[in-house]
Amino acid sequence: MKTTDADANSTPEIVEQYRDYSPPVRVKKWVENLLESVPAKYTVGLKTVVLTNQGALSRNQRRQKLCQRGRKHRLAHARGAYYRATTYRPATVWLYVDDSFQSQPRWTLRVPILRYLSLAPVLYHEIGHHIHAVHRPVYEGKENVAEKWSNYLSGQFLRKHYWYARPVLYVMWLMIRVAKRVRDK
């Protein structure tokens, strides 16, 4: 796909559509920060990122099912969704903010690195679907490719913004890995 200078400079528009929900105050700014670290060539063709909650879904959307790793899941239980571009609508990423922050205590939103740990994997996973569909098709499972892009883009973001926390995060990652191995035995 050939890109022009106008396409390379464009970033997706962030739209907030909530119903009976008050999100964390600066969630739009946090998503802007996350999008800034994605190379512009990968966001070409991605028109909008919609920030919403599950309560804002219509009845048809709540009943809609998504296929993931050969199993069907309801959209109402997802933390995000990617819709490919069609002749009628541009590519869009939907983030369900209430589900992303549901299991996270409110105090963690005050710690800069912790607030991004809930949003980044979901946003970057959905952008990974866009990259896979439009820019770099790889013939593996769609979810596997999206996960790889999510890990890569999250790593890029953390290295750029929180380079000083890398040794601590590495030790935490090792501890989590060891705990999972012990639990699985």
Question: Per residue in 122-178, pLDDT tens?
Answer: 899 999 989 888 887 777 778 888 889 888 998 889 888 888 877 887 888 888 889
Q: Where is 72: in which H helix or E strand? A: strand 71-74
pLDDT digits (tens, 9 = 90+) for 100-120: 777 777 887 888 888 888 888
Domain positions in the chain? 5-184
Average pLDDT over residues 51-79: 71
Residue type at 115 in one-letter notation = R
Tell the residue number behind the tokens 């890109």, with chain if given: 3
Mean pLDDT of the chain: 81
Is the model more confident about 57 or about 158?
158
Q: Which amino acid is at 110?
A: R
178 membership: H or E segment, kind and range: helix 166-184
Q: What is the pLDDT of residue 67?
A: 64
β-pair partners for 9: none
pTM to 2 decimal places: 0.79
For residue 1, pLDDT over 50 is answered with: no
Amino acid at 154: S
